[in-house]
Structure 1
Amino acid sequence: MADPASSDPQRTGDLDRDNTLLQAAAFAEHLQRSGVAFLPRANPDRVAEFKQRFAPSIPIAPATEKKAAVEQVAEEKILPKPPESRPESRPESRPESRPEFQSTSIRGEAAKRYPCEARPVSQRTAELDTLASTVAACTKCPELVHCRTQTVFGEGDPQARFVFFGEGPGADEDRTGRPFVGKAGQLLDKMIVACKLTRDEVYILNTVKCRPPGNRNPEPEEIENCRPFFESQLEIIRPQYIVCLGAVGTQALLRSKLPIGKLRGKFHRYFDSKVVATYHPAYLLRNPAAKKAAWADLQMMLKDAGISLR
């Protein structure tokens, strides 16, 4: 069946305009979260139009006009008319662009904002470089130190809006010192491109920075030894979205023991970052049928971010 919007140029134009407004709002939030000190002055008329389109429940009329607006809505039988004697009530305040998260069983301090303020990009880069040097000299895990060729710290945009958080380095990563460069990394690259992003626009890291022998899963003690490193990376970058790839990364970040099937399909929270749990690219290579579910997880994130895939 043909899409009715495709035969109606005016409706198609309206949809394109709506998508542009959503993307602009999401981008503005990202700039503010990243510590940008200047944003253009808002156009009051366009702000009012935006609120009417996407947040009709938020009153935009002056306080003196609120009562008349409520009575007009009541006459249209959309809302019951309030009693005359009832004092005027103010709308409850809402956090801007912060929807309720479906998962609450996460680490105790996760609902708070990152403890430090956003840094300028030059400072973020310097702090990440210093942290990478500390990681390279780490000897907390004797078995991993004995097996590694080099540490794999992470790479990407230091003020990335999207972070992809994996499990640990494999043979190719251990050889090159870069995360996700093997077959699983090639699939991750395709997933990133499908999200209308590039590898340079995101940041990629793992729970542990050394390759476990035989490509085994990291031991809990090894993850805890590396926890200060990946938590510091995330605090410096302050991403809006963290895509956890596989059960190991998801459970480590959220401090959860639930399987990936129970964690995916909804937003979680790590400080003021939104966390999406999905399948690891290596798992998708072994189980291609799961790619549809992984793509659904990414689409959920993109819709929330205001990125249109049309």
Structure 2
Amino acid sequence: MEQEKPTIDGPDPAATLAQAAGLAEHLQRIGVQWLPTPDAESTQALATQFRVAGQDTPQPQPEAASRPTSAPATPVTAQPAAAQPAAAQPAAAQPAAAQPAAPATAPSPPGGSPAPGFALQSDSAAANEPYAGPPLAADARAAQLAAFAETVAACTRCEILSKCRTKTVFGEGNVTPRIVFFGEGPGREEDLSGRPFVGKAGQLLTKMIGACKFAREDVYIMNTVKCRPPNNRNPEPTEIENCREYFQAQFQILRPEYIVCLGLVSAQALLQTKLSVGRLRGKFHSYFDSKVLVTYHPSYLLRNPAAKKAAWEDLQLMLRDAGLM
């Protein structure tokens, strides 16, 4: 026995179809791109009657959504649904499996050009970026540096360094400096006194500063790590990372015009690079608003006096750029 097919409800099928046509046109105008139908036969009839102009073949849709095999059409005078914003679609008329309309503009592909205002980074993760916020007045800088120095003095992030140190060495000097000299870590004399660069290497640094027509009190001097590594070894990468927050905070407060990295450890830590001093010296790098110059550490110059000429050439590059030579 042939199963009876469902029919369109209503006493007058012609009037019902006319109402359906009007409803289809209205739904198309507000963004609905399909109409549910009782069965496949009715679906095909509606698709034939209301086909979008220029769309000759029905579009297959997921079965789970009970969508018709072709998109219903509106009269030629109606705007296509794609021209309507996605937000205009009523939630009740859209099944859970319905796909959202395509965005008007596609997002930039991965690996494309950076967004405006973001510079491509080279040696430093902070290259060419401004320091955050407005600069502080001198008394506010001094107060913040003093607070950070107390935090460093109580720091136990590095188990080995915190146990073998005598004093932490935070930094000292002018809190509104044009130049910051950025070294590696404290030595024996610095560990005992709590002051940076006071041993033989510090005495040479003082002479280098004097050759630039500055006094120690005119500049700020600090190190990458704040505790002396055992036997004056180089700091471990984890120890540098533990201190990164501290030296970054110092630079954020000080905002010097120039940063002179003394040696490989400070240069690689600040610029986040693996290049050697020989590859980094002789030109300026960037750390936020500061110009970064890389030269040899004073302790290296004590062991290799012939390199003093190259170090002086580096400092002269800075002095000429600053208009001091």
TM-score range, shorter chain: 0.5 to 0.7
1:199-241 Cα offsets, whole Å, 9 max, x none, are 0000000000000000000000000000000000011000000
1:10-63 Cα offsets, whole Å, 9 max, x none, are xxxxxxxxxxxxxxxxxxxxxxxxxxxxxxxxxxxxxxxxxxxxxxxxxxxxxx
Residue segments in structure 1 that go unaligned for 5+ positions in a row: 1-102
CA distance in 1, matches of 2:317, 2:228: 31
Matched, 1:136 2:153: yes
Aligned with 1:207 (options 200, 212, 224): 224
Task: Kindly provide the amino acid, as one letter, of the partner of residue 152 in structure 2.
Answer: V
CA distance in 2, matches of 1:106, 1:270: 9
Residue matched to 1:172: 189
Residue matched to 1:302: 319
CA distance in 2, matches of 1:148, 1:201: 28
Residue matched to 2:238: 221
Matched, 1:188 2:205: yes
With over 3 angstroms needed to count, the CA separation of the structure-2 counterparts of 1:193 and 1:278, relative to structure 1, is: same
Residue matched to 1:161: 178
CA distance in 2, matches of 1:209, 1:104: 28
Task: Kindly provide the amino acid, as one letter, of the partner of residue 129 in structure 1.
Answer: A
- Report if the CA contact (8 A) 1:169-1:210 is conserved: yes
What does 1:63-102 correspond to in 2, within 5 Å? none
CA distance in 2, matches of 1:269, 1:159: 19
Matched, 1:289 2:306: yes
CA distance in 2, matches of 1:200, 1:109: 28
Aligned with 1:252 (options 241, 245, 269): 269
The alignment's TM-score, normalised by the length of structure 1, stands at 0.66
CA distance in 2, matches of 1:110, 1:150: 33
Task: Kindly provide the amino acid, as one letter, of the partner of residue 306 in structure 1.
Answer: G
CA distance in 1, matches of 2:287, 2:274: 16
Residue matched to 1:12: none
CA distance in 1, matches of 2:276, 2:255: 26
In the TM superposition, residue 110 of structure 1 has moved relative to its aligned partner by 2.1
In the TM superposition, residue 116 of structure 1 has moved relative to its aligned partner by 2.1
The structure carrying a bigger helix percent of its residues is 1
Residue matched to 2:39: none
Task: Kindly provide the amino acid, as one letter, of the partner of residue 150 in structure 1.
Answer: K
SS for the counterpart of 1:210 is: coil
Residue matched to 1:117: 134
SS for the counterpart of 1:178 is: coil
CA distance in 2, matches of 1:230, 1:133: 14
CA distance in 2, matches of 1:270, 1:160: 15
Residue segments in structure 2 that go unaligned for 5+ positions in a row: 1-119
Matched, 1:273 2:266: no
Task: Kindly provide the amino acid, as one letter, of the partner of residue 237 in structure 2.
Answer: P
CA distance in 2, matches of 1:224, 1:290: 30
SS for the counterpart of 1:124 is: helix
CA distance in 2, matches of 1:125, 1:146: 28
SS for the counterpart of 1:274 is: strand
CA distance in 1, matches of 2:121, 2:152: 32
1:248-270 Cα offsets, whole Å, 9 max, x none, are 00000000000100000000000
- Report if the CA contact (8 A) 1:116-1:235 is conserved: no
SS for the counterpart of 2:313 is: helix
Q: Sequence identity, in percent? A: 65
In the TM superposition, residue 104 of structure 1 has moved relative to its aligned partner by 6.2
Q: After the TM superposition, which parts of structure 1 deviate over 6 Å for at least 4 consecutive aligned residues?
A: none
- Report if the CA contact (8 A) 1:104-1:268 is conserved: no
SS for the counterpart of 2:275 is: coil
Task: Kindly provide the amino acid, as one letter, of the partner of residue 255 in structure 1.
Answer: Q
Matched, 1:232 2:246: no
Task: Kindly provide the amino acid, as one letter, of the partner of residue 145 in structure 2.
Answer: L
CA distance in 1, matches of 2:126, 2:219: 25
CA distance in 2, matches of 1:304, 1:168: 28
Task: Kindly provide the amino acid, as one letter, of the partner of residue 305 in structure 1.
Answer: A
Residue matched to 1:99: none
- Report if the CA contact (8 A) 2:188-2:228 is conserved: yes
Residue matched to 1:150: 167
Give the number of equivalent residue pairs. 206
**Superposition RMSD on alpha carbons, in Å?**
1.1
- Report if the CA contact (8 A) 2:125-2:271 is conserved: no
- Largest Rg, 1 or 2: 2
